[in-house]
Amino acid sequence: MTDYRPACVVWELTLACNLKCLHCGSTAGGRRAAELTPEEALKLCADMARAGTRGVALMGGEPFLRKDFFAIASKVRELGMELSVITNGTIFSDEIFAGLKELSPRAVAVSLDAADPALHDRIRGVPGSFEKSGRFIDRCLAEGLPVSVITTVHKLNIKELPKLRDALKGRGIAWQVQTAGAEGGRFKKEFLLTPEEFYSVGLFVEACRREFSPEELPVIGAHDLGYHSLLLKNVSLYETWDGCQAGKAVAGVRSDGGVLGCLAINDDRFLEGNVRERSFYDIWNDPAGFAYTRGYKKEQAGANCAGCEHADTCGGGCNEMSLMKTGELHNDPYCFHRLEKELFKDELANPLKRAALKLRGAAPAALFRRLGRMFYGGRGNEDKHRMRL
């Protein structure tokens, strides 16, 4: 038995989906060949509880397409685990809302990629998706359910962030901002953010967190937006970044029972086992399991991270981003600390300027204007929507 406990298991209930999102990392659409049966799914719930799992996030594909969704979700709650649901928000009925209320979920998260309905529908691949997801969110709010919105940022929607901020603020909706990877078969690599665009997303989240109270706009950056920044102290949910938690505090389960450290790592080489052959409890407690995080040593850091003073604890950033962008683990090229060395090279070379940067937490004005233009498209508009850091 290991000392690790799963704080959150993300479970792809089915790969079936009624949308065709461009950035979907698992290219969802049809079911996997042999998805878990209702009996196997309930056994998995019991095994996760036995392994000490604190919370389970049910996602897809689209989780409401699974007919036994409520039987599984109820079992999770019955066994004392917290429940989150991640949905595209386009499948709903009075029964679904009543069932969700009964479950007292920790969060009902809905994907929203743009404030512009046509752009959201284009990214989601199905006309009318925006309107349906909007209705879903409104109804959740009316029912008193804890609603979150997840926005996955890439080149097509980076300019939507300020409009989404304005649409979400003051509504009691938690907002998670994350950046797209290119694992899925529908996403073109040219839609990936450039390093500067990536940094500007961090700057945007930081600006929101400085400008709005958590009551007005509870916004966070996901795991991929970090690490050890001189300037961006407020982007992530975590006060300190202790490295990728795949197999340490989080796990992912595919709808066919395959277990991974993180469901975002869409690569069969990182499958730790299948719950049809070994219980989740045994897979999680395997002393040889999840070696890439549990057994990480700083000497394993890739070229982007070798020599970094944080390599020991950081572990080279998000392993999913690292793998997707470089083909290696522990080598995340999109890291605030690393990018700032380039973006702030003049300030960092000068001890006085470096100290001022650290103390004031303020970006140099010219850099700020350049990054701000990524959202507002041209001269003049940046002042109107100015990000206040």
How near is the Cβ of 227 to ligand SF4 at its closest, in Å? 4
**What are the phi and psi torsion angles at 273 (to 5°)?**
155, 180
Return the residues of window 51-80 that contact ligand SF4 according to CB under 6 A: none
Q: Among the candidate windows 95-103, 109-117, 132-140, 308-316, which touches ligand SF4 by CB under 6 A?
A: 308-316
b/e map 67-103, b = 16+ CB within 10 Å: ebbbebbbbbbeeebbbbbbbbbbbbeeebbeebeeb
How near is the Cβ of 290 to ligand SF4 at its closest, in Å? 11
Return the residues of window 260-279 that contact ligand SF4 according to CB under 6 A: 262, 264-265
E-strand ranges in 112-184 read 147-153, 174-179
* Distance from the Cα of residue 308 to its chain's centroid: 25
How many residues lie near ligand SF4 (CB under 6 A)? Answer: 26
| 109 vs 137 by CB, closer to ligand SF4 | 109
Q: Are residues 206 and 234 in contact, defined by beta-carbon separation less than 8 angstroms?
A: yes
How near is the Cβ of 299 to ligand SF4 at its closest, in Å? 12
Q: Enumerate residues 6+ apart whose C-beta is below 8 A from 299.
A: none
Return the residues of window 310-349 that contact ligand SF4 according to CB under 6 A: 310-311, 314, 316-320, 332, 335, 337-338
148: which 2 tokens? 């979150």
Binding flag, residue 23, ligand SF4 (CB under 6 A): no
How near is the Cβ of 308 to ligand SF4 at its closest, in Å? 3
b/e map 181-201, b = 16+ CB within 10 Å: bbbbeebeeeebbeeebbbbb
* Contact pick of 305, 357, 363, 387 for ligand SF4 (by CB under 6 A): 305
Q: In the 8-state DSSP scheme, what is residue 275? A: T
Binding flag, residue 250, ligand SF4 (CB under 6 A): yes
Nearest one of 103, 62, 66 to 84, comparing CA atoms: 103
Binding flag, residue 245, ligand SF4 (CB under 6 A): yes
How near is the Cβ of 248 to ligand SF4 at its closest, in Å? 8
Binding flag, residue 231, ligand SF4 (CB under 6 A): no
How far apart, in whole angstroms, are the C-alpha atoms of residue 99 and residue 170? 27
Binding stretches for ligand SF4 (CB under 6 A):
223, 227-228, 244-246, 250, 262, 264-265, 301, 304-305, 308, 310-311, 314, 316-320, 332, 335, 337-338
